[in-house]
Chain A
């Protein structure tokens, strides 16, 4: 299936096998699930949620580094 993700203002698409989770997506794009929050349809979701075909996942790094 094809999903989209938005990270630091850039939107990209990626092919993922069926039944994969948000955590699998994060690992695939080299993001530590511990260091980000993920939202879909304006709702934050846990990393173990299953990915849905065609959806856009917003990936938000949590460290502000101020």
Chain B
């Protein structure tokens, strides 16, 4: 099979677009797709101070790498910084943080690390054990997601960031949309999209997703070619997530009907637009009475969860 552009041997065949690319043209097409996503969605302005929520996995490394290159090329005034949350998942996050530190050192990128244990007194592993003991029927990902979002927003604000970029890719976004659909949670989907949030309170740092239109398979290949120091460790709690079943189903559909993922994301964007309109006027944003973080209720989800887990 030959590259669509130069006719050299292809390394990947993109059945959804009927294109095949050699290494060089895969990289240039990938870079262009990410930059186009940033530009078309007006994700960044020259003066923005940007942070990237990084985990040590491929997607967040790619996001940080591409934003760092934009800075080097003079398209962004400030050098992006990395923000990592150490959840305290033994044998997983400790290892991926080693990859991340190596990456940041190699590209001379400032990395800020914060831990769930320092923030809430216990590691995620501890909280999962407590939840199991109390028979709370909480999945580890539900605890982790709430705490991570809370800390990422809090520390992005403290670091005076204008935008927080995450490494969410096309597959992640479709999975989130489908999960909300299956669970009947339309309001939650209103928070999805290349730039997140229904309304924009001042204490909430705007989140952007430059890899929104990038399939995971392509981000995997990109990080391999760029030789990023990531081992793509698998979280020991990942098998408990409904997301895995949705991922497998979407992969099967994509294999049988190429283009399904892009059609789904296209439909989801239209839905998200409508949902954002529908839900924007319904909730006012307050500050949590316990911690002061933005919330649509009197007490934020994080404080509610801590209360249930610890008391």
DSSP majority for the B interface?
A: helix
Q: Taking the complex as formed, is A29 at the interface, i.e. its CB lies under 8 A from any CB of chain B?
A: no
Inter-chain CA distance A62–B171, complex, in Å, is: 11
Partner of A62, one of B217, B244, B255: B217
Q: How large is the interface on A (under 10, 10 to 19, 20 to 34, 35 or more residues)?
A: 10 to 19
Structural contact, B1 and A34, CB atoms closer than 8 A: no
Q: How far is the CB of A39 from chain B (nearest CB, A)?
A: 9
Interface residue stretch chosen among B7-15, B32-40, B111-119, B295-303: B7-15
Q: When chains A and B are docked, how far (Å) is the Cα of A32 from the Cα of B247?
A: 12
Chain A's closest residue to B238 (CB) is A65
Band of interface residues on B: 20 to 34
Q: Contacts of B59 on A, CB cut-off 8 Å?
A: 64
Min CB gap B283→A, angstroms: 30
- Beta-carbon contact of B251 and A32 below 8 Å: yes
The residue of chain B having its C-beta at the shortest distance from the C-beta of A60 within the complex is B220
B217 touches A37 (CB 8 A): yes
Which of these binds chain A: B44-52, B183-191, B202-210, B229-237? Answer: B229-237
In the complex, chain B residues 4-29 whose Cβ is within 8 Å of any chain A Cβ: 10-13, 20
- Asked, given contacts A43-B11, A48-B1, A49-B1, whether A63 binds B247 with beta carbons under 8 Å apart, the answer is yes
A8 → B minimal CB distance (Å): 10
A65's contact among B11, B244, B254, by CB below 8 Å, is which?
B244
Answer whether residue B216 sits at the interface, using C-beta atoms and an 8 A cutoff.
yes
Kindly provide the distance from the CB of A9 to the nearest chain B CB, expressed in whole angstroms. 13
Are A66's CB and B224's CB within 8 A? Answer: no
Decide if A33 touches B255 in the complex (CB within 8 Å): yes
In the assembled complex, which residues on chain B have CB atoms less than 8 Å from the CB atom of A49? 1
- Separation in Å of the A52 CB from the closest CB of chain B? 14
> Which chain B residues border A66 with CB–CB below 8 Å?
55, 57, 96, 232-235, 238
**Measured between C-beta atoms, what is the minimum distance from B86 to chain A in Å?**
13
**Which residues does A use to contact B, with CB under 8 Å?**
32-35, 37, 43-49, 60, 62-66
CB-defined A-B contacts under 8 Å, sample of 22: A34-B251, A35-B217, A35-B251, A37-B217, A37-B220, A37-B224, A44-B12, A46-B1, A46-B10, A60-B220, A62-B216, A62-B217, A63-B171, A63-B216, A63-B244, A64-B57, A64-B232, A64-B234, A66-B57, A66-B96, A66-B233, A66-B238
